[in-house]
Amino acid sequence: MSVAADAASGAGAAPRRDGGPAGLALQGRHALVTGASRGIGYEVARALLAQGARVTLLGRSQHSLQQAAAALAELGEVYAASADVARRQDVDAAFASAAQHFGPVDILVNNAGQAVSQRFDRLSEEQWQQMLAVNLTGTFHCMQAALPGMLQRQWGRIVNVASTAGLVGYAYVSAYCAAKHAVVGLTRSVALEAAGKGVTVNAVCPGYTETDIVREAVSNISDKTGMSPEQARAKLAERNPQGRLVQPEEVACAVQWLCLPQAGAVNGQSIPVDGGEVMSG
């Protein structure tokens, strides 16, 4: 595990707990976002910085993290730590380093994830285990690293970025669906354990979103069906009643809201961000 350089001034200062200036609801709070160097994670980091949080970016590529941290530094205090969330040792070291820098983690956003497309009868055990390791076990590792301190301080926010694939089934991504369904179940269980202790645990479930995962899906569809990339994108967008792909900043807005003090009554929920594709009764 390696830690990138601090990307903003004020490193090591004790975080404020007085609420900060008006309009900065997360002033003094330390937020850690996984998979934060691009896509949804990057936009989540931006949204939390806009509310005054100090943000640790966590991901596997130190180079990508440094680039993201440099781009976000003008918005607030940012720290970057590289780790593979599937490895407990990496996670523990990254959380310890982040805590030395900004204090204990008040807000955890589990965004790191991967998807593999394969027909179920051709799915290898290696692919199956990889989907569970990154999407589910990584979430477990980070939640276990953050939750004890939140419970001790009687305040915390955990938001797991799941997927509509955690609410319904999709063909050819069975391992991904299984992992994301498990994330939703984990979210609900831990939310009940933390209820009444000042900590909320929720999930957001994006539909097809303009991210690297969807770009890979477009490429796979094109390769396997002969569709043009434009046709493949349109095929994915058809699932959304709005006829478009969700944008990362739209997912980040939902995450940001769940992290605010004013969202304290929202707990154990799995909120679709999908233009109405999945509706609960």
Distance of CA 244 to the CA centre of its chain: 22
Residue 178: the pLDDT is 98
Residue 214: the pLDDT is 78
Looking up residue 107, the CATH number of its domain turns out to be 3.40.50.720
One domain, residues 83 and 215: no
Identify the active-site residue in 42, 79, 176, 208: 176
Assess if residue 115 is contained within a domain: yes
Q: Is the pLDDT of residue 33 over 60?
A: yes
Residue 18: the pLDDT is 42
One domain, residues 102 and 224: no
One domain, residues 64 and 98: yes
Domain that holds residue 189: 2-9+16-207+247-273
pLDDT (tens digit per residue) in 237-271: 888 999 999 999 999 999 999 999 999 999 999 99
By mean pLDDT, which of 15-19, 96-100, 103-107, 224-228 is the weakest?
15-19
One domain, residues 22 and 56: yes
Question: What is the pLDDT confidence band of residue 221, given thresholds at 50, 70 and 90?
Answer: confident
Residue 233: the pLDDT is 80
Assess if residue 226 is contained within a domain: yes
Assess if residue 29 is contained within a domain: yes
One domain, residues 96 and 157: yes
Assess if residue 159 is contained within a domain: yes
Q: Is the pLDDT of residue 229 over 90?
A: no
Question: What is the pLDDT confidence band of residue 5, given thresholds at 50, 70 and 90?
Answer: very low
One domain, residues 225 and 163: no
Task: State the DSSP string of 123-167.
Answer: --HHHHHHHHIIIIIHHHHHHHHHHHHHHHHT-EEEEEE--GGGT
One domain, residues 114 and 214: no
Q: How many domains does the chain have?
A: 2
One domain, residues 20 and 102: yes
Residue 248: the pLDDT is 96
Task: State the DSSP code for 169.
Answer: -
One domain, residues 264 and 127: yes
One domain, residues 185 and 61: yes
Among candidates 96, 173, 102, which has minimal Cα distance to 131?
Answer: 173
pLDDT (tens digit per residue) in 34-92: 999 999 999 999 999 999 999 999 999 999 999 999 999 999 999 999 999 999 999 99
Residue 23: the pLDDT is 66
Residue 57: the pLDDT is 98
- Tokens for 109, please give them: 């956003």
Assess if residue 49 is contained within a domain: yes
Assess if residue 279 is contained within a domain: no
What percentage of the chain has pLDDT greater than the value 70?
A: 91
Q: Is the pLDDT of residue 17 over 80?
A: no
Beta strand 2-3 pairing with 78-82: antiparallel
Question: What is the pLDDT confidence band of residue 207, given thresholds at 50, 70 and 90?
Answer: very high
Would residue 176 show up in a list of annotated catalytic residues for this protein?
A: yes
One domain, residues 156 and 180: yes
Assess if residue 280 is contained within a domain: no
Q: Is residue 23 left, alpha or beta, with left meaning phi > 0 and alpha meaning psi from -120 to 50?
A: left
- Tokens for 98, please give them: 């982040």
Assess if residue 57 is contained within a domain: yes
One domain, residues 190 and 266: yes
